[in-house]
Structure 1
């Protein structure tokens, strides 16, 4: 749980780093994942070289699918912001714990109690309040519906990424798993950058430092630590804890971007934390009682 809290904070730095970057969003996402892969792959080759040969074809294929799902999440979510309001996009993407909760019971056999469902509902309501704090409504046009659909795709794919990690990490060591996932994600995003016609290298030194920061903070200490926790925590708990990311991002924005949130955003953050607490305390109760 301590590692998960640290990972959520590290992931919270992503919004500030992306805001500072002037590069196209797909390029920033590509280099974030590529540099993260470059940082974790040597560790995997030194510590877990033999584990790669023991990867079954099924687990290898599943890890690749998880990486592609993560790439689709990044691509769909960022693109959705070009077609719909920030409020709609963020609210829809943050509905992913509902997808995880429903799928975890069907696919992974995890028991979802009423208390867990209540915690998820509270956290999602809080996340919606945060995203609606300072936003107006976009007109309901075909473009808006398209943007909302992309955001929903982002929610579903990141839920698939969490569920795949929860399943595979029971059998596969951390670094071989994330190396395969990040490599597949980077290759997918790299193909997207090429398809969009963006330049790969024509960026100033400041951008390269930001790309590296995204890899070290949100990448290594964020997503990689989250993948480590998936061996020890249920996917629903990990997924709901991710809703703490906008809380951390809001606090960092106050300090680093001088963006002071309004009362609705602050209240929504408190509700998110309450939902996380309900879900995690319920897990601890069930683990303690052996049920």
Structure 2
């Protein structure tokens, strides 16, 4: 495997910052979950299409049957992840929804072991436990057992399972297929899946409020083409586990944005939880021995 031109952790960090705005754009758009998800993916495909046709379309001939199947499954999983997560935002807060939808390590640990025999050591498990604990603490005051908030929480949790599956299938394909080609296939399959969903559900493709187009374009460019594309790039060099643990930082960014835009107030447990999430992430990605040697060298 060739050496990356940029450290994957830097790329993942930029991706996490980008996807943190996703929930905000979704709540600002005044359309159904299916319609919002469809235009997010459809516009992403349109923006990528010229680059793909000009430089990468020939790569399709190099794909094997496994690549097509796994990429297609990833696209379907991504589509339903967006549908369920966007719908959850209609019932619960940004903080609760993003916390639950980013608890991917709970699923990724078992998935990467089952598919790739990718073991997670004691340090990794401890880091995940800390980060997950911090994520739950962020929205502790907002969890409601029963009512619409609980329904939204369940939708977000299922959406989390779907996006983890999307990452796992992508990890396999990205080791052989280029970023643009892989992303184009996944996003196209996802767009078709979402179009069928909107049609079957009887939702509309017609958008009457001009401002909604602005939010759709931002969803396509920032969380998708910048955020998810960066994650797809990183999958060639790191495990889905690493990306999953880093994405736990998303609730921190989303909660801060929700505070300023929707006046969703942050309480003490959310501040503390955000700090704990960061500690868990750092514990997972930082090599303690190398850090100690660096400190000793500079002291």
Output the TM-score relative to the length of structure 2. 0.86
Q: Which residue does 2:21 correspond to in 1?
A: 13
Distance 1:259 1:88 in 2: 11
Q: CA RMSD in A?
A: 2.5
Distance 1:42 1:110 in 2: 37
Can you list the C-alpha shifts for 1:26-51, whole angstroms capped at 9, x where unaligned? Answer: 21111011111111232222221221
Which residue among 4, 22, 32 is the counterpart of 2:30? 22
Aligned residues of 2:95 and 2:251 also touching (Cα < 8 A): no
In structure 2, relative to structure 1, the CA distance for the partners of 1:234 and 1:184 (3 Å cut) is same
Q: Number of residues paired by the alignment?
A: 283
Pairing 1:201–2:226 present? no
Can you list the C-alpha shifts for 1:122-165, whole angstroms capped at 9, x where unaligned? Answer: 111111111223x152327xx88876654443222111111111
Which residue among 240, 246, 249 is the counterpart of 2:251? 246
- Show structure 2 runs of 5+ residues with no match: 1-8, 294-299
Distance 2:258 2:150 in 1: 29
Q: Which residue does 2:190 correspond to in 1?
A: 185
Which residue among 121, 124, 128 is the counterpart of 2:132? 124
Aligned residues of 1:8 and 1:241 also touching (Cα < 8 A): yes
* Within-5 A mapping of 1:14-53: 14-53=22-61
Aligned residues of 2:20 and 2:250 also touching (Cα < 8 A): yes
In structure 2, relative to structure 1, the CA distance for the partners of 1:81 and 1:21 (3 Å cut) is closer
How far 1:109 sits from its partner (Å)? 2.2
How far 1:104 sits from its partner (Å)? 0.9
Q: Which residue does 1:154 correspond to in 2?
A: 159
In structure 2, relative to structure 1, the CA distance for the partners of 1:19 and 1:88 (3 Å cut) is closer
Q: Which residue does 2:274 correspond to in 1?
A: 269
Pairing 1:220–2:230 present? no
Q: Which residue does 2:120 correspond to in 1?
A: 112
Distance 2:260 2:91 in 1: 29
Aligned residues of 1:86 and 1:131 also touching (Cα < 8 A): no
Distance 1:265 1:146 in 2: 21
SS in 1 for 2:206: coil
Pairing 1:168–2:176 present? no
Aligned residues of 1:48 and 1:176 also touching (Cα < 8 A): yes
In structure 2, relative to structure 1, the CA distance for the partners of 1:181 and 1:243 (3 Å cut) is same
- Show structure 1 runs of 5+ residues with no match: none
Distance 2:90 2:31 in 1: 15
Output the TM-score relative to the length of structure 1. 0.88
In structure 2, relative to structure 1, the CA distance for the partners of 1:212 and 1:124 (3 Å cut) is same
How far 1:198 sits from its partner (Å)? 1.9
* Within-5 A mapping of 1:52-71: 52-71=60-79
How far 1:180 sits from its partner (Å)? 0.5
SS in 1 for 2:180: helix
